């Protein structure tokens, strides 16, 4: 996978350990996210993914658990043909505390996966299956909602 640094003063994103699925991405700017607020943040990189793969931008679990930092459209989709800067739509899900992000912080992770690219073919009927049209909890086993 090819990576171009649009912001050469940031380190090259790498896997923290060999075998890690995610490549950590850096914030290119400082920002403060008030509770419930979101902001698009640059990562200072552009990538060239192989055709037949997709880049997925996932939150980092440590920041999620410690601060409530997440990504609005998690996982973000990076199309193989996209050559612009990868940006991350961060959101502060903590109800009370602001989150301060400093340029150079690792804010998200990029995971590259193979993806099927089937042609879209319109049909009048679909084949029968055991599930049929049952969904949205039709198989049971879901939690019971309680008031308050």
Contact 42, 24 (CB under 8 A): no
The window from 78-86, 99-107, 117-125, 135-143 that contacts ligand DUT (CB under 6 A) reads 78-86
- Comparing CB distances to ligand DUT, the nearer of 89 and 93 is 89
User: Any contact of residue 79 with ligand DUT (CB under 6 A)?
Assistant: yes
- In terms of C-beta density within 10 A (0-12 exposed, 13-18 middle, 19 or more buried), how is residue 123 classed? exposed
- In terms of C-beta density within 10 A (0-12 exposed, 13-18 middle, 19 or more buried), how is residue 33 classed? buried
Interface size with ligand DUT, residues (CB under 6 A): 11
* Three-state secondary-structure class, residue 64: helix
Residues 26-65 that bind ligand DUT (CB under 6 A): 57
Q: Does 73 carry a binding-site annotation?
A: yes
- Site residues (CB under 6 A) for ligand DUT? 57, 73, 76-79, 82, 86-89
The annotated binding site is made up of: 60-62, 73, 77-79
């Amino acid at each position: 996978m090819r990576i171009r640094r649009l912001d050469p003063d940031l380190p090259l994103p790498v896997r923290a350990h060999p075998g890690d699925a995610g490549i950590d991405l850096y914030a290119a700017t400082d920002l403060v996210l008030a509770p419930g607020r979101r902001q698009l943040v640059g990562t200072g990189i552009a990538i060239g993914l192989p055709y037949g793969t997709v880049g997925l931008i996932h939150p980092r679990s440590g920041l999620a658990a410690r601060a409530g930092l997440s990504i609005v459209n998690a996982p973000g989709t990076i199309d193989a043909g996209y050559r612009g800067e990868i940006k991350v739509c961060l959101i502060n899900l903590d109800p009370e505390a602001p989150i301060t992000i400093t340029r150079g912080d690792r804010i998200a992770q990029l995971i590259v996966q193979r993806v099927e690219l089937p042609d879209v073919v319109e049909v009048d009927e679909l084949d029968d299956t055991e599930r049929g049209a049952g969904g949205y909890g039709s198989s049971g086993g879901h939690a019971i909602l309680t008031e308050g």
